[in-house]
Every structure is written in structure tokens, then in C-alpha cells.
Amino acid sequence: MIEITEIELGVTADMHVHLREGKMMELITPTVREGGVAVAYIMPNLVPPITTIDKVVEYKKQLEALSPTTTFLMSFYLSKDLSPELINEAAKIGAIQGVKCYPAGVTTNSAHGVDPNDFTAFYPIFEALEANNLVLNIHGESPPKKDSDDIHILNAESKFLPILSKLHSDFPNLKIILEHCTSQDAVEAIEKLNAGYKDGDKVTVAGTITAHHLSLTIDSWAGNPINFCKPVAKFPSDRNHLVKAATSGKPYFFFGSDSAPHPIEGKARHTGVCAGIYTQKYALSYVAEVFEKNNKLENLKTFVTDAGVSFYEVKDVKCSDKCWLVKDKFNVPEVISSKDVTVVPFKAGDELQWKVEWRK
Amino acid sequence: MIEITEIELGVTADMHVHLREGKMMELITPTVREGGVAVAYIMPNLVPPITTIDKVVEYKKQLEALSPTTTFLMSFYLSKDLSPELINEAAKIGAIQGVKCYPAGVTTNSAHGVDPNDFTAFYPIFEALEANNLVLNIHGESPPKKDSDDIHILNAESKFLPILSKLHSDFPNLKIILEHCTSQDAVEAIEKLNAGYKDGDKVTVAGTITAHHLSLTIDSWAGNPINFCKPVAKFPSDRNHLVKAATSGKPYFFFGSDSAPHPIEGKARHTGVCAGIYTQKYALSYVAEVFEKNNKLENLKTFVTDAGVSFYEVKDVKCSDKCWLVKDKFNVPEVISSKDVTVVPFKAGDELQWKVEWRK
């Protein structure tokens, strides 16, 4: 058996990235590239959320100033502020590649989100997305109902899946992503919606999978706010299904880190802990480790490059070099910080096996 | 309908109390009585755990000095340091009323605990407990196995229940308590083991229920370390079964608060959050509120007084007064503190309806 010590991944993509604003944005934006990512799809859940062309253009400019060789794909936040006309205009000038849908109340800065039980109100927007070949990104959790077993944090994703199926059935040509799949049910739903898929077909419904959900389970975040994110990591069997999907080489599962930095003060709290895990700076190192452990390194490039780039039909990229991973162990630092802000990275202190290198 | 505004509860009992040592003990011990509790069964998981007569006698003396009118029932920590001879001697002088069993690794200070899959090693101890009419208190969770669905924090209690049944079958006259029941499965197991119970029978297997598990669910502690305890609060349906059991008036379900104070620094952490919820100072106020909401105030005295006192066969008590609850709303303070230590109480800031009064 030959040991693999270098892997060429090409123009890699992370299709779910939170870069925030201000001092946090300044610290985190350059780490997209450091973590091995060339193309990043940027979340619009700022405060207030991004719902105008001016704001998205200005935000992209700020990000490009901080990391000129990273390709930023931009998005709007689905809300009543959007209109089909705005979508058409934004698509025409290439200001956005998609729209992100947050059910109200399910995660960080989702207070302006929508009621997924009343999606028909947004059908004109979805029609405009479909017509312009833009992507609809969905945080797929039904909003919690506190006093019954109907919906709680462990089944909120499963409860959302029928809504996903209906959307796909109503908009068969709309490109939809179920973001950050966390459950066996989610994996099976994406498989089912792609049941007729044949090599070379255009994928219309895909699931993204984060780095952290490939290793965490419920026991990992109980008592460890640093591992708390939404949707929460679930059972070992769910995690195993995610690993199987991510490493499968199938084009409808690809990488979206949902790297979501919070200042350490937002994590070390006795109440109201911020949901989100910061993985950006070591994104591909975390992922490669899982693929290696499962003897699936040959499918890593599909997951972190080809499937996402193909789904989004990414054409122009800012970098002229390629991402490589090189077997070379190192320890994740305890914190990532500037003079203004400190973030604890995922697996702080742990040893990882693969380092990022950019080569011409 | 007549509104109840006062309830006489008599010589109340909380059969699962953590009072710690040092500055924390000084702050917390007087709050047993403040919370409406006359008799408290004290946990032995100090560092190191209590496994000698000298230590348990000395600890009780310290507690009595801090709260002379509280009746402290004491316990040993089940470990290889115990022997049948020690149990016999401790029983003879009334030094302990029971022994607490912690499976290794399941909660705070359980590192010295036992392997519940190998209980036969402790059968000589259990025989001595049975012979002396002492109680075996069990933290009923199987130790976690991280990489399979076999055992995780949500099913660890359910997985333990066959061990409880076997113990009861092997020691039918040993008084056993399944501490802090959190699941429908646990409630049903206690019901099943008491299936032949008739009024006036002696209860040998009982379940205690905390105040906090009568209101919390998994959504309550996700992102709120202050609500994180072991066993973790589970689903709404589990919580509903606990409420039904607690308010049932059945003598084999009674109050054990598992009030477990930690300094706020142990809660406001980004990793390694201490497990435990502090409820002592408002113990009966929390409980009464649940009984009232469920129209079961008539069964409150069974739960917080009669059932526990009867199970432990409590004879001598230190107080000459009785606990009453009076309808008189107040807000739980944000913190309980001395100059040395600060603890955040359960439901900090919330309004409660019932106040404790001690009357001759």
C-alpha cells in the first residue's frame, strides 16, 4: 500500500461561510484561504441582514479588500424586503449567486427569518431564482415548539424535510441546497430526491455538510459550548451517515463549512451561548482527516471542489494557484485572535495531519 | 372553586442534596431550610469522596454547625474502599443512612465510581446494606461509549434500567432509589417494579425526581449551561411523564432535588462546563408551582414529605416547626453569593408564586 502524502484539490470551494463584519470580519476573512478554500459562498445574516444590492456589493468589496485572491459568492437574506424585480436586477449584474432562507428563530441572527409553513408567500421570489438560475440555500429546521414533542432541537431538521420535498416538487428546476445536513433523515431525503440521478445530469437538490458534523455527536456539545451549533450535532449513527454521504463521491453532497465565528465571550457564558463553530482556518485539514480515516481520500476532491463548483457553475476565480494538502502534522492553536477579538477554533489544541499549501 | 393560598407540608424532605465543602458549603447549607426542607439526604461525592466513618461524622458536624435545625442524613460513596464490616459499624452508630453509587465517569466527581456492568463485586456491600435496612442510592446511567449508538447521554438512563431490575431481583429487601429520574423509561421501570404495591406496603424501590426535571427539556439546556446537569433533561414527553409521576401521590416517587451548586466560573465556560443545577434555596417553590399548574397541590405533601420520610424511616428531626408554603409571588435573584463564591440559581430572574414559611 502506498501512503498518500500530497493531494491536489484545485480550486476548492466552501459553500457556506460566515465572515461577519467589523473587527471579526478583519480577523476571519483571510482565514478562508488559509484553510484551503478558493471559492466561498458568503452568508447574509448580518445585523441587519443583507437584502439590497448596495449592501451586498459594498460587503463583497470589503471582503475582497481583506482577501484579494479569494472568490466570494454573495447572497441575499430571504425576507419580505426582497422582490422578484430585485432578484432579477441582482442576477443581471452578478451581485448575488443565491438567497438564503432562515426559518425564524432557529439560529444566530435568524429573527428576521420566515415561517417555513407559509413558503407560498415567497413563491414569486423562488420563481425569480429559478428563472435566473440562482440558488436557494435553506437552513432546514422547523421552528421549535417548546411544549410538545412535535418539534425540538433533535427532530427539527427531520420535521423540515417534507417542506424541502414539496419545494423541489413545486420548483423542479430551482437549485436548492439543504444546508449543513446533520441527520440520517436529511441524508436519506437528499438521496431520495436524487434517486433518478445519472452521471452527467445537472444536480438541482444538494446537501452541504460541515467539517464539524463529520465528527461531533450530542455528547460532544453537552457541556462544551464551543461545540454548540445549530442544527445541533446528533447521534453517532447520524454522524456516520454524514461521513458516508460526504465521502461517497456523489455530486449532490458537498462541502459547506458553516464556519461561524463568535468572540470567546459569546461562548463562555452561563446562559445564551452563541450557536456556531469556527472551522475556517483549518477547514480542509479537518475534512481531510475524516476522509483519510475512512479510506476515502480519492473522493475528497469531489466533496471540497468539483461538486460545489459544478452546482454553482462557478466560472471566474480570483486565484491563479491551486490548493494542495500535504501530510504534515500540527496542533490547532487554543485561540485565533487580533488585538480586538478572540475566537476559539474547532478542536483547539488537537493534532491534525494535513496542512494547506497553495501552489502554482 | 376555592383558591389555595397556604399549604402545610410538615417535616419536609429533600432526599438528594449536594452541599460541597469550604466556602461553597458555608453559602449553601443554610439554604436547605430557606428552600423549605427540614430533612436533607447529603451526597458523598466530595473530593476525595466520603468512604470513612470519621469523614462522614466530621462532615455532618460541619453541616450541623451551619444549619442547626436541619436534619442531615448522611451517605458513603460506593467504592472499593468500603467493606461490609464498615457498613455494619456505620449503621450501628447511625453514621449513615445509605450508600450512593456512581457509575464511573457519568457526572461531577464520579471518577472514583464503579462499573455498573460488574456490580457483583459489590454484592457483599449490598448484603450489608440490606441487613442494616440502609438505602442504596443509584445514579442510574450507563457510562458513555463515544463511538456508537449503544450509549449516549439521551439513552444512558434507559440503558441502565435492566441493571436496576436485576439488582432488585437479587436483593428484594434492599431499599433502592433510582436517583433523579429523567425519562419516561425510568418512570415506567419504577412503576413496573412496584406493580404489586398495595396501600400500606413497604416500598423497596423508589425513584426520586428533581425540581428542575419537572420543567426542563433538551431545548432548555442547549446553549444554556446553567440548565446543564446529568442526567440531562430529555424530551417534552419525558418531562410530562415525570410530572405525572411526581404529582401522582404514589409513595414510590418522591423529591430529591439533586441541587448541585457550582461557582458561576464553572458554568460560564466555553468548554468543560460543570454539570449540575442549583435549586436548594427555592426548592419547594419550584416544585409547588408545577403541582399547582397541574392541579395537584393535594399531592404535594406526599411528594415532598410523606413518601421520602416513610421510605427512609426518618425518626428524629432537629426542627420543632413545620414548613408551610404561602402564595406570595417573588422573583428569583440573578445570583446567590457570599464574598467568596457566586452561584446562579435555577430560573434566575423568573417570578415564582409560593414562599416558604416555618411555623410552630
> With bands split at pLDDT 50, 70 and 90, how would you rate the model's confidence at B3?
confident
CB–CB of B220/B233 below 8 Å? yes
3-state secondary structure of A337: strand
A169 touches chain B (CB under 8 A): no
Strands (E) located in A117-222: 135-138, 175-178, 205-209
> Mean pLDDT over residues B257-283, rounded?
98
Average pLDDT over residues A236-251: 97
Of residues A149, A219, A232, nearest to B222 (C-beta) = A232
Separation between Cα atoms, residue B198 and residue B159, nearest integer Å: 28
Is the CB of B268 less than 8 angstroms away from the CB of A272?
no
The distance between the two most distant Cα atoms of chain A, rounded to a whole number of Å, is 58
Neighbours of A331 (CB within 10 A): 11
- Interatomic CA distance for residues A29 and A237, integer angstroms: 34
pLDDT tens digits, one per residue of A265-274:
999 999 999 9
Q: Which three cell numbers stand for residue A190?
A: 437528499
- Which residues in chain B have their CB less than 8 angstroms from residue A272's CB? 223-224
Supply the pLDDT for residue B148. Answer: 64
Which residue in the block uniquely carries the three cell numbers 446562559?
A271
User: In terms of DSSP bridges, do strands B75-77 and B98-101 run parallel, antiparallel, or are they unpaired?
Assistant: parallel
Calpha distance A306→B352 (Å, rounded): 58
Q: Convert the pLDDT of each residue in B153-202 to its tens digit.
A: 999 999 999 999 999 999 999 999 999 999 999 999 999 999 999 998 99
Averaged confidence pLDDT in chain A: 95
Using a CB-CB cut-off of 8 Å, the residues of chain A touching B147 are: 236
Looking at chain A from residue 200 to 259, which residues have their Cβ under 8 Å from any Cβ of chain B? 217-219, 221-228, 232, 235-237
User: What's the rounded mean pLDDT across residues B83-102?
Assistant: 98
Question: DSSP strand E in A21-133: where?
Answer: 39-42, 71-73, 75-77, 98-101
**Chain B nearest C-alpha distance from A156 (Å):** 11
Average pLDDT over residues A318-336: 97
Query: What digits encode the pLDDT tens for the residues A68-121?
Result: 999 999 999 999 999 999 999 999 999 999 999 998 877 777 777 788 778 899
Task: Give B15-68 pLDDT, tens digit per residue.
Answer: 999 999 999 999 999 999 999 999 999 999 999 999 999 999 999 999 999 999
Q: How far is B237 from chain A (nearest CA, A)?
A: 6
| A–B CB contacts, 8 A cutoff, strictly below | 93
Among A147, A219, A228, select the one facing B222 at the smallest CB separation.
A228
Between B144, B270, B273, which is nearest A219 by CB?
A: B144
pLDDT interval class at A291 (50, 70, 90): very high
By the CB < 8 Å criterion, does A329 face chain B? no
* Cα–Cα nearest to A44, from A93, A89, A110, A121: A110
pLDDT value at A312 more than 90 = yes
- pLDDT tens sequence across A22-63: 999 999 999 999 999 999 999 999 999 999 999 999 999 999
| Cβ-based contacts of A147 with chain B (< 8 Å) | 236
Average pLDDT, stretch A158-178? 97
Nearest alpha-carbon partner for B287 in B328, B246, B323, B326: B246
| Spatial CA neighbour of A178 closest among A92, A110, A258 | A258
Task: Identify the weakest region by mean pLDDT among A108-112, A182-186, B77-81, B128-132.
Answer: A108-112
For residue A76, the distance in angstroms to the closest alpha carbon of chain B comes to 27
Please, where are the H alpha helices in A29-101?
Answer: 31-34, 53-66, 84-92
Nearest-Cα residue of chain A relative to residue B267: A270
The maximal CA–CA distance of chain B, rounded, in angstroms, is 58
ipTM reported for the complex, 2 dp: 0.94
Q: Which domains does chain B have, with CATH numbers?
A: 12-320 (3.20.20.140)
Mean pLDDT of chain B: 95
Specify the 3-state DSSP secondary structure of A9: strand
Window from A85-94, A333-342, B97-106 with minimum mean pLDDT: B97-106
Q: Smallest Cβ distance to A154: which of B146, B218, B227?
A: B218
Q: How many CB atoms lie within 10 A of CB B53?
A: 16
8 Å CB contact between B175 and B165: no
Give the start-end residues of each E strand in chain B: 6-10, 13-17, 39-42, 71-73, 75-77, 98-101, 135-138, 175-178, 205-209, 253-255, 322-331, 336-337, 342-343, 351-359
Q: Cβ–Cβ contacts within 10 Å for residue B166, how many?
A: 12
Residue A146's pLDDT band (cuts 50, 70, 90): low
Q: Which of A104-118, B203-217, B267-281, B321-335 has the lowest mean pLDDT?
A: A104-118
**Beta-strand relationship, A322-331 and A6-10:** antiparallel
